[in-house]
Structure 1
């Protein structure tokens, strides 16, 4: 059978699995590791804050454009060759990123690095899935999930350590030895499936490729930069929104009518894959949204260093790592995927509600510990059952196409999550600030006492009466702002929690479609 021709056993399967996880880790760590080095880059390369933000945006755009095309590219060049070429591109551009002499050079190299990296994530998932027999597919997803879940958590502390002890180019240089090792292992051990005949140049869906790049690239830009540019007040955002909508409609029409489409949309007729794709979007929203919000809160409100806030996430990642094989085993024994997903969503609700209850302007490290452990357990329960459900009834070439859809939706879900959270925090902070200021009565005894105390302390430090008054009002304004920010974070946790809670009944109502070929499970040992 075609889908079993790539099943591996023994040491060979172990080596292929390690290679694929290394590549998935490389890609994901690289999407979060730069976050903590942006300040250093800004100073070193003489860039503004919005310019240096492009270092993250360019990588995400490169990623999200290439991901839907990975299955087609594997078919064109052979999976092993395409995978090895992607690792080589990623490694070369990692070296060039470290050697960039100005910000726009670095942004261009990051875009190219993202194009190489996008393939690593999806193709490594396909390789792992196809290396295991059908009966062990859930375990394969558990192993792959380790890389995907631990990656975003490893990035910030690793980046913080490198920046503190070396210099920012080293966050790119550490990819080089891993990339070389992964390339050699891929060429030696990974096998390519026998695809149908590859397309001639005249049959290649060039318009599909251009429409995909226009639609997905514009959408990713809008999500990354929308908040910074005041959304639809910016002509660039308006223009790109039009490009994204028209590009999407034309792309759908092109792919459904062209004989050799670059993205095989017809595979979405599979009910399990459709559900898995929607759930992957929600998972991305929760995974990247919550990975983004806790470090942001601890650094901007509590004043922690990048290393401290990154280290805070490690116990949660270890919890997920411990959960992965257990959940893989439960699925292999026949526990329904929907039940595990519902339990994962319930844990995410508990985590969010916990966050809502504990955050204050001076929450301690110990207060976060159990809350983040619950998040780690919830992630484990969501990731494997969702990917396993999505790919469970696909065969052969469809597995790569399905993995590309779930990968792209997880990435876009993360971008939507971060864009929505950033905008929401900004808007809610303004609302809370107005509400708090309206309660600050200048004639109130408490307010007068606080102001007089501050003025006296500034005068004691040698400030003049006018300067002391100005400084005291500034401190009062800052404490109002801090309180408003804390309240807006509380709102984020609360609404995120309800979003997960609302999804539970929908997941439980879904009827899982079993594979129409149950013989496969029995015939594989």
Structure 2
């Protein structure tokens, strides 16, 4: 088999695994570490809130454009060279991000950093998968999964600590020493596969690259900025939606007809990879969606600091870390992937329903602990089985192509999730607010007593009676808005949970049927 030459043993395999995980972590931590520093950047660079949002958007666009091309670029330049070059690009632009003097400079550097970073995620997954013999691949995915699941959780507390104790450029500077070490280890230890074929410049799918960038870049922009720009009220969003749809259709046509496509769509003929790709999207939706909503709720409703809300997620990440090797063992011993995925989906539903039940305008910190531990268990059960299911029957260059698809779909799932959640919360809050206001009758005795009580307390603090009355109504209004927002958060938890629940029969049914026709299965490959 072609990829036997890439299987490593002993010390070399350990070093390669550490290097690949370090690179995956660098990339993922960087996508969430910025969230808690946006306020600092805004003040420091004199930017508006929507301008500073571009710091996140630009990175995501760079990521999503490069991910589908990684397999092709690895073949073009040799995997080791491409991986090392990506780390160098990522590290240099991390330094430049920290030195940016205005917001648009920072946005451009973040785009370039995202282009370097996107490759790290997928290529590190391919490197780990190919460094282990087939029967140990589940274990390899478990090790890789540690980085991917813990990364988004580490970002906010680490970012909060750095911003509180130093200044925002240091969230980028911490990448520099790690980037240098990773580059040196890559050059020394990572091997390039023998099946790499180089293409002459005339064979390069330039049209495919352009269409991919237009389609994915536009889609990512729509998802990230749509809510703020009021969706289709904005001419830019309408224009980019047309670009994304046309770009997508032309891109599919081009890749299926061109001799050397930039993205090998034919690999999706593999049934396991198709299901894995859809499940990766759902996983991204849940993983990034819940990583986004819990800190948002604790900071905006409960008034916690960035560090407090980031630290809340750590026990869940540790639970996932603890579960990864156990699940890797179960898969290696032959437990069916679809059973573990179904169990993970069910546990994630329990977590979401739990969230739906405990959320109030003043939920205590302790109420979250076990709920988030359950989330950690669910993610552990989902990540490795989905990834190993996707790549289980692929060989040689297909592994890299498959990893690129699942990686891209996980990222897009996260973007869709966050866009859907922000829009949903804004719309539902308005709806709930108007319903609650309709039930507040000025002639109602309870309402009158509440207003009178608030007015009296303001007068006691030395306020003029008319001012006190105005403040009493403001407090009442604030209470209604807060309650409406909490109700919309409850809905988000409930619907996220239902989405995972609906997927269970789909996974059990489809996997069984497709699996019969496949040549090898990870669970029977020893």
Q: Mark yes or no: TM-score above 0.5.
A: yes
Conserved 8 A contact 2:331-2:523? no
Conserved 8 A contact 2:283-2:413? yes
1:258 corresponds in structure 2 to 258
Q: Distance in 1 between matches of 2:524 and 2:349?
A: 35
Q: 1:513 aligns with which of 501, 515, 522?
A: 515
Shift of 1:194: 1.3
Conserved 8 A contact 1:215-1:247? yes
Conserved 8 A contact 2:279-2:386? yes
2:132 equivalent to 1:163: no
Shift of 1:464: 1.7
Instruction: With the length of structure 1 as denominator, give the TM-score of the two structures.
Output: 0.98
Q: In 2 relative to 1, CA 312–196 (structure 1 residues): closer, same or farther, beyond 3 Å?
A: closer
**Unaligned residue ranges in structure 1 (runs of 5+):** none
Shift of 1:418: 0.5
Shift of 1:197: 2.8
2:488 equivalent to 1:485: no
2:424 equivalent to 1:424: yes
Q: Distance in 1 between matches of 2:172 and 2:197?
A: 38
1:115 corresponds in structure 2 to 115
CA deviation vs aligned residue, 1:323-366 (integer Å, no higher than 9, x gap): 00000000000100000000000001000000000010010110
Conserved 8 A contact 2:90-2:117? yes
1:197 corresponds in structure 2 to 197
1:457 corresponds in structure 2 to 457
**Count of matched residue pairs:** 523
**Aligned pairs (5 A) from 1:97-176:** 97-176=97-176
SS of the aligned residue for 1:349 comes to helix
Q: Distance in 2 between matches of 1:518 and 1:58?
A: 39
2:228 corresponds in structure 1 to 228
2:373 equivalent to 1:373: yes
2:23 corresponds in structure 1 to 23
Shift of 1:396: 0.5
Q: In 2 relative to 1, CA 321–517 (structure 1 residues): closer, same or farther, beyond 3 Å?
A: closer
CA deviation vs aligned residue, 1:287-318 (integer Å, no higher than 9, x gap): 00011010000000000000000000000000
2:91 corresponds in structure 1 to 91
Shift of 1:454: 1.1
Conserved 8 A contact 1:134-1:521? no
1:361 corresponds in structure 2 to 361
Calculate the aligned-residue CA RMSD, in Å: 1.2
Shift of 1:3: 1.9
Conserved 8 A contact 1:134-1:520? no
Shift of 1:195: 2.7
Shift of 1:8: 0.2
Q: Distance in 1 between matches of 2:385 and 2:168?
A: 37
SS of the aligned residue for 2:6 comes to coil
Q: In 2 relative to 1, CA 280–517 (structure 1 residues): closer, same or farther, beyond 3 Å?
A: closer
2:335 corresponds in structure 1 to 335
Instruction: With the length of structure 2 as denominator, give the TM-score of the two structures.
Output: 0.98
Q: Distance in 2 between matches of 1:110 and 1:156?
A: 18
CA deviation vs aligned residue, 1:58-90 (integer Å, no higher than 9, x gap): 000000000000000001100000000000000
Q: Runs of 4 or more off by more than 2 Å in structure 1?
A: 512-515, 517-522
SS of the aligned residue for 1:5 comes to helix
Q: Distance in 1 between matches of 2:63 and 2:196?
A: 26
Q: Distance in 2 between matches of 1:306 and 1:516?
A: 49
Deviates more, 1:463-472 or 1:19-28: 463-472
Shift of 1:521: 7.4
Shift of 1:4: 1.4
Q: Distance in 2 between matches of 1:17 and 1:418?
A: 31
1:402 corresponds in structure 2 to 402
Shift of 1:379: 0.1
**Aligned pairs (5 A) from 1:440-479:** 440-479=440-479
Shift of 1:405: 0.1
Q: Distance in 1 between matches of 2:69 and 2:469?
A: 62
**Unaligned residue ranges in structure 2 (runs of 5+):** none
